[in-house]
Amino acid sequence: MAEGKGIAIVALTQRGAPQAMVYELLTAGRALAEKAKEPLYAVLIGGKVASYAQDLIDHGADKVSLVENPALENFTDELYAKAVAELAEKENFDKLLLPATVAGRSLAARLSVRLRAGLAAEVCEISINGTGLKAKRSQYSGNIISEVEFKSPVQILTVQAMVFPRAEKQAGRAGQTVPFAFNPGPSGIEFMSFQPEEANEVDLGAAERIVSGGRGLGNAEGFKIIRDLAHSIGAAVGASRAVVDSGWIAYRHQVGLTGRAVHPKLYIACGISGQIQHLAGMSSSGTIVAINTDPDCPMMQLASVSVAGDVNELIPLIIAEIRKRKGSAAPGRAAR
Ligand SMILES: Cc1cc2nc3c(=O)[nH]c(=O)nc-3n(C[C@H](O)[C@H](O)[C@H](O)COP(=O)(O)OP(=O)(O)OC[C@H]3O[C@@H](n4cnc5c(N)ncnc54)[C@H](O)[C@@H]3O)c2cc1C
């Protein structure tokens, strides 16, 4: 393989393990590396993460640049940007792919300044144009797809979740791990604490199945059946802005223009009318199931499967059927 300047994916870790999106970046990076005939690097960064190096190689990386330091135990964009920028300059990386997660976005912005690199955010398609990258971005709720080309020698992309499949594992694949000595120096940022998600919560951005609730649930208590249904099928819990604004559920669950953009294989919208701002975040889902008393609302029109009826009657029946098939007891009805 020719030693080019190198395509690098930034393998961000969370609580010591790679973020789920790292394996999607490996798929995207591998395809580019094949096309460009360049090696694919994975920058594995964190406090103590060396045990994942072979895993990244097994999933498509040719070389793992291992950036381990106790100061990198918790994500702070300032130190991470310093570490990745110093490594990128040393290794001459000219194409960097990061996840469009909260940490990935923040890091990409700082890297673009440090490396004087062009940055295309939230891309949904990537190709190689000659020796540089070309990308597509979905804008204005998916109504416009813009094409981005770079003028800068160093090019950075953040990649939307769920647009590339997870890389397949090829156990024992050959590759190389090279440690990078990083000296963090003084930092103006101090890490205070980590607040974990509620127990058993599936991350919305990486979820393959999502059950979302809207105003049709009636009140905050209505989310009990949403959580029960989500739990019974291993799904994440989503929500419309109307219920987030009403304080029924935390903002991190909001799907839509001003919430999260999601791309699950299955999206179940319960009591959500389907206003354009909500659709902006989920209309590219695989199968959409809508449960709503109004058969004419936009969500029911958009859905692959539309079920007309009251969520508080239908959802407990659906959960009971799922549990019956799984061989466990049925749940009670939620209070309205
Ligand atoms: C700048 C801007 C940004 C926005 N960003 C977002 C965003 O990111 N995400 C978002 O979601 N919204 C966003 N909104 C708000 C959006 O316009 C809607 O107000 C919101 O999505 C409506 O939420 P909803 O569908 O839960 O409520 P409603 O529109 O009130 O719909 C409730 C639905 O429940 C159904 N229903 C009622 N009772 C039952 C029952 N018992 N069983 C079954 N169905 C029932 C009704 O028929 C109706 O379809 C934004 C708005 C603006 C202006």
Q: Which residue has the higher pLDDT, 265 or 261?
A: 265
User: Which one of 293, 301, 302, 314 would you pick to mutate in the ligand 1 pocket, going by the greatest count of ligand atoms within 8 A of its CB?
Assistant: 293
pLDDT in tens, 60-70: 999 999 999 99
Q: What is the pLDDT of residue 138?
A: 80
* Domains defined along the chain, listed by start: 7-179 (3.40.50.620), 209-326 (3.40.50.1220)
Which of 43-47, 194-198, 294-298 shows the lowest mean pLDDT across its residues? 194-198
Instruction: Give, using CA atoms, the residue closest to atom 31 of ligand 1.
Output: 273
The runs of H, that is alpha helices, within 127-247 are 223-233, 241-245
Of ligand 1's listed atoms, the one at least distance from the Cα of 258 is: 8
Judge whether residue 37 has pLDDT over 60.
yes
Residue 2, exposed/middle/buried by CB under 10 A (0-12, 13-18, 19+)? exposed
Q: Look at residues 80, 19, 13, 79 and name the one whose alpha carbon lies nearest to residue 49.
A: 13
Which of 130-134, 207-211, 244-248 shows the lowest mean pLDDT across its residues? 130-134
Question: Cα of 164 to ligand 1 centre, how many Å?
Answer: 29
Q: What is the pLDDT of residue 88?
A: 96
Instruction: Output the ligand 1 site: residues, CB below 6 A.
Output: 214-216, 240-243, 254-259, 271-273, 275, 277-278, 281, 291-294, 297, 310-312
Q: What is the pTM of this model?
A: 0.74
Instruction: Give, using CA atoms, the residue closest to atom 22 of ligand 1.
Output: 242
Q: Kindly state the average pLDDT of the residues 51-66.
A: 98
Per-residue pLDDT band at 144 (split at 50, 70, 90): confident
Judge whether residue 199 has pLDDT over 80.
no
Q: What is the pLDDT of residue 328?
A: 57
Question: What does the alpha-carbon distance between residue 49 and residue 16 come to, in Å, rounded to a whole number?
Answer: 6
pLDDT in tens, 299-308: 999 999 999 9
What are the distances in angstroms from CA 78 to CA 159, 170, 326? 21, 34, 48
Question: Cα of 243 to ligand 1 centre, how many Å?
Answer: 8
User: Which one of 211, 249, 258 would you pick to mutate in the ligand 1 pocket, going by the greatest count of ligand atoms within 8 A of its CB?
Assistant: 258
Q: What is the pLDDT of residue 200?
A: 59
Question: Cα of 277 to ligand 1 centre, how many Å?
Answer: 9
Report CA dihedral (170, 98, 185, 88) to the nearest 10 degrees: 80
Of ligand 1's listed atoms, the one at least distance from the Cα of 272 is: 25
Does residue 294 contact residue 271 with C-beta atoms inside 8 Å?
no
Q: What is the pLDDT of residue 322?
A: 93
Of ligand 1's listed atoms, the one at least distance from the Cα of 297 is: 49
Q: What is the pLDDT of residue 141?
A: 64
Which of 36-45, 203-212, 225-234, 263-272 shows the lowest mean pLDDT across its residues? 203-212
Token couple for 131: 């020796």
Of ligand 1's listed atoms, the one at least distance from the Cα of 276 is: 17
Question: What does the alpha-carbon distance between residue 3 and residue 300 come to, in Å, rounded to a whole number?
Answer: 53
Q: Kindly state the average pLDDT of the residues 315-334.
A: 76
Judge whether residue 115 has pLDDT over 70.
yes
